[in-house]
Structure 1
């Protein structure tokens, strides 16, 4: 029942707005979406994402993923592992190899003035 509350409350916040078009780039102002989810976090957020996926509510899926991302912003690898409950199963060498290969995952190289991303 509590999960239905979150879904309905979210959808009501966007009632009367134009149809949702899934963005194909960086969302420059996620605050309305994050505000629409309020203090939803943890297990409820995971359940909400699953329900949004099942019910095919793309705006809610995107908002939930932005909320998850907001929890990870500025966190180090160990903190992110804790947030996602992931084991530290890579050797230091493997971690370095991944960091070298996927530096974009760790360092935001996006130009904030780039209007092509949204």
Structure 2
């Protein structure tokens, strides 16, 4: 299992957001061992259930971004939207604070709004 997963639900349709591009990167301005700031670590697309697993088995402590490519998703569905992409910035803590545990970043999406939280 990868250290990071996501699940995207399209709230406008009530369906999983299938085929949405997602990019995991080191956050700009933050030095992360073995990763240059802003460097792409992993990328992929959500599956039929709106889920994606990204990255290595363990992420080093530091700040990361998870970018959801919403423009392409909504364009493919001929739906007008406000956000061309959504970037969620989050921190992975050191092992003493649970840095080796799994990170899950869900996204509840509509063409003109979104919400996210730290999942389990």
Q: Which has the higher helix share?
A: 1
Work out which of the two has the higher radius of gyration on C-alpha atoms and give 1 or 2: 1
Q: Which has the higher strand share?
A: 2
TM range (shorter): under 0.3
